[in-house]
C-alpha cells in the first residue's frame, strides 16, 4: 500500500450498489406514477337522450302553461358610501391643501362619508355626519 491510499472495507461497494439501485428505482417509480396520473382522462358522460312517447289513442296533448307567479317586490339596496373616522383631531378645510381656510375640527372618533379624493390622494373630501350636506377636506394621514 502506498502512503495516503487506504483500502476500503469489503462492504462499501455492495452498499453503494444497493443505494444506487434504490435511488434509481425510486426515481423510475415516481416518474411512472406521474406520467400515469397525467394520462388518465375522466370518462365523459354519455350524451343525454330525451325520448317522448305519444299515446295515439288519446291524441296529441297540447301543453298547458303553468301558472305564473307574480314577481315579489324586492327592496333596492341603498349604496353605502365609504366612511372615514378621525384617529386624532384634524382640521376640516375648504379645499385640499394647507392654503385653504379651516372650517372646523373633526374630533377623534368622529366620522363622515367619503365623497372624493384629491389627485395626489393626500386629502379626502368628506361629508361630516353632523352636517351631511357640507363637503370638507381632511388630511388622509390623520383619518
Q: Per-residue pLDDT tens for 3-60?
A: 656 777 888 888 899 999 999 999 999 988 888 777 655 555 566 665 655 555 555 6
Q: Nearest 5°: phi and psi at 90? A: -135, 145
Closest CA to 81 of 133, 116, 119, 131: 116
Q: Per-residue pLDDT tens for 90-139?
A: 999 999 999 999 999 999 999 899 999 999 999 999 998 888 899 999 99
Give the C-alpha separation, 140 to 143, whole Å: 6
| CATH number of the structural domain 83-142 | 2.30.30.40
In Å, what is the CA distance from 6 to each residue of 1, 2, 9? Answer: 8, 8, 9
Q: Per-residue pLDDT tens for 53-102?
A: 555 555 566 777 777 777 777 777 666 778 888 889 999 999 999 999 99
Amino acid at each position: 500500500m502506498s502512503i495516503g491510499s487506504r483500502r476500503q472495507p469489503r462492504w462499501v461497494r455492495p452498499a453503494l450498489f444497493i443505494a444506487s439501485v434504490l435511488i434509481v428505482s425510486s426515481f423510475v417509480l415516481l416518474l411512472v406514477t406521474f406520467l400515469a396520473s397525467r394520462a388518465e382522462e375522466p370518462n365523459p358522460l354519455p350524451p343525454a337522450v330525451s325520448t317522448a312517447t305519444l299515446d295515439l289513442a288519446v291524441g296529441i296533448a297540447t301543453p298547458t302553461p303553468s301558472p305564473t307567479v307574480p314577481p315579489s317586490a324586492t327592496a333596492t339596496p341603498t349604496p353605502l358610501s365609504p366612511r372615514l373616522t378621525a384617529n386624532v383631531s384634524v382640521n376640516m378645510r375648504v379645499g385640499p391643501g394647507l392654503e385653504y381656510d379651516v372650517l372646523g375640527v373633526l374630533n377623534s372618533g368622529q366620522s363622515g362619508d367619503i365623497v372624493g379624493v384629491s389627485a395626489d390622494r393626500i386629502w379626502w373630501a368628506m361629508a361630516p355626519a353632523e352636517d351631511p350636506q357640507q363637503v370638507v377636506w381632511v388630511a388622509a394621514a390623520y383619518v
